[in-house]
């Protein structure tokens, strides 16, 4: 439970924060990696100060780690967080999201709140149904490279969300990487692509390193070269704005080594395998939303 002194610090901050920071108290229901990462990004971007933040998690170990990482207070009670925070990050597992929000919302009748949910597959309609009418909902899907400030996120607005709410979501998500607003019908597809995509890329990096080891490189050297190659290739796409096919052709000489490697990738179906992976993950996100 949050101590009286901790809650007092939050309420005091609500009075004096406008002199130093935007008028926002921020909480996260869920103090795991993504909740802590998003709060950390907000702190680095100076969107809030530690005294304006509360974390909430049933795990005492998670609360302790959150407090050490952010300098903020933490509680085991979602209700206490909702009482104190104007902006709430919902960072639970998908099947827990609506229930956590419903339980917390019971204590906040008459108190407007903005809720930004990162629960995969859970629709705006489901989240809005779990809340009082004065709760505004935004659905978002960040990914784990946000941990190193290189995330890719999309978000969509609920029926009651305002342009100011969109700006808040944009600022919070952009503090840890790229953030794009889009219609909700694309969110499960985003989950399959950028939400799950880092795992696909990790497999690619591991496989490239395995190829290097097979050819005679040490594991450490092969892994560093593979990871840096993927990092550099991604930077080329983002910074040049050229199509990946154009960049690929610039590396591919007639009868050379690269075209020999590409021919093997086509023969073994790398392209179709990645396309199928995105589609499968998107379907799973839709299934989670229907449960």
Task: Write the pLDDT tens digit of every residue in 130-147.
Answer: 888 889 999 999 999 999
192 within domain boundaries:
no
Q: For the chain, how many structural domains are there in total?
A: 2
pLDDT of residue 6: 55
Q: Which of 53-57, 82-86, 132-136 has the highest mean pLDDT?
A: 53-57
pTM: 0.85
Residues of the domain holding 245: 197-290
Res 14 pLDDT > 50: no
Q: What is the mean pLDDT of the chain?
A: 89
Instruction: Give 10's contacts (C-beta < 8 A, 6+ positions apart).
Output: 25, 51, 52, 54, 73, 84, 85
Other CB atoms within 10 A of residue 43 CB = 20
Select the more confidently predicted residue: 26 or 16.
Answer: 26
Do 59 and 95 share a structural domain?
yes
Q: Is pLDDT at 199 greater than 70 in this prediction? A: yes
Pairing of strands 177-181, 151-157: parallel
Statement to judge: residues 63 and 131 lie in one domain: yes
Q: Note the pLDDT tens digit of each residue in 116-125.
A: 999 988 999 9
The answer on pLDDT for 12 being more than 50 is no
Tokens of 79: 């209700």
Output the CA–CA distances (angstroms, integers) from residue 86 to 61, 96, 192, in the order listed. Answer: 25, 21, 30
Give yes or no: residues 44 and 123 share one domain. Answer: yes
Residue 233 belongs to a domain: yes
Is there a domain that residue 77 lies in?
yes
8 — pLDDT class (breaks 50, 70, 90): very low
């Amino acid at each position: 439970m949050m101590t009286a002194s901790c809650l007092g610090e939050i309420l005091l901050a609500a009075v004096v924060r406008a002199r130093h920071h935007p008028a926002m108290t921020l909480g996260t229901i869920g103090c795991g990696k993504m909740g802590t990462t998003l709060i950390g990004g907000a702190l680095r971007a100076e969107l809030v100060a530690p005294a304006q933040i509360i974390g909430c998690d049933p795990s005492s170990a998670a609360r302790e780690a959150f407090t050490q990482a952010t300098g903020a207070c933490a509680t085991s009670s979602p209700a206490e967080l909702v009482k104190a925070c104007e902006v709430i990050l919902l960072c639970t597992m998908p099947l827990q999201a609506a229930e956590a929000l419903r339980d917390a919302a019971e204590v906040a009748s008459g108190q407007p709140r903005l809720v930004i949910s990162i629960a995969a597959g859970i629709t705006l309609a489901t989240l809005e149904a779990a809340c009082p009418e004065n709760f505004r909902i935004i659905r978002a899907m960040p990914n784990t490279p946000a941990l190193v400030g290189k995330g890719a996120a999309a978000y969509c607005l609920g029926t009651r969300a305002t342009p100011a709410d969109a700006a808040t979501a944009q600022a919070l998500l952009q503090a840890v990487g790229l953030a794009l607003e889009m219609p909700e019908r694309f969110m499960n597809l985003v989950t399959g692509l950028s939400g799950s995509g880092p795992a696909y890329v990790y497999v690619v990096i591991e496989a490239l390193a395995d190829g290097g080891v097979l050819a005679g490189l040490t594991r450490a050297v092969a892994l560093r070269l593979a990871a840096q190659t993927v990092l550099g290739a991604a930077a080329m796409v983002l910074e040049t704005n050229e199509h990946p096919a154009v960049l690929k052709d610039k590396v591919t000489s007639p009868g050379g080594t690269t075209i020999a490697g590409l021919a093997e990738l086509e023969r073994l179906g790398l392209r179709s395998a990645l396309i199928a992976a995105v589609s499968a993950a998107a379907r799973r996100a839709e299934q989670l939303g229907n449960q």
